[in-house]
Amino acid sequence: MTERRAVARAFSRRRMLAVATMMVPVAATASCGVPDLLAPPPGLSPSVRTLRAAITAEQALVDAYRRVLDTYPALTAPLHPFLAQHEDHLAELKSRLIIPPHVKATPLPTPRAASPPASARAAVTMLGDAERAAAAAQLGRLAAATPSLAQLLASIAASEATHAVALSALNPAGG
């Protein structure tokens, strides 16, 4: 009996030692930043989150132009080229968005629709302000973007800046 108890104690000690030996590398790797085998797969990278934010902002601009053109069809000739360029921006940004299959990304937020401005002139002013704000916001996204995405965002921002200047020179009738 005593012998059996001694064997059991020794076995238990060996098991503890074995478990402890196995745990050392696990603890060491965890502290070295090596990915944990059981950890959930990584989420969206900062660059993808940046891209999603840019897509949401671009969609908001496209929607704003469409609402203005629905309300003031007389503005179609001067404004349609800008809308078309925003649609190009949106298509290019979306073409770069690849969500890995294991990542459950929340759907892109739908921009809130603002009520149409009270006059054509106010609508143009509103679009100009939106273009300026969008161009400035792109600069804030550069740090988290890959070099290629940063260049695309900077180019889109430059396009938006030119829209803002062109809109400020428009003087639509129906004031």
Q: Which of 4, 143, 171, 175 binds other proteins (CB under 8 A)?
A: 143
Q: Which of 137, 150, 168, 170 binds other proteins (CB under 8 A)?
A: 150
Binding to other proteins by residue 139, rule CB under 8 A? Answer: yes
Binding to other proteins by residue 147, rule CB under 8 A? Answer: yes
Binding mask 75-94 for other proteins (x = CB under 8 A): ------xx-xx--xx-xx--
Binding to other proteins by residue 137, rule CB under 8 A? Answer: no
CB of 132 to other proteins, least distance (A): 10
Binding to other proteins by residue 96, rule CB under 8 A? Answer: yes
**CA separation for the pair 105, 171 (Å, rounded):** 43
Span interacting with other proteins, options 46-54, 58-66, 102-110, 151-159, rule CB under 8 A: 151-159
CB of 165 to other proteins, least distance (A): 5
- Count of beta carbons in the 10 Å neighbourhood of residue 171: 9
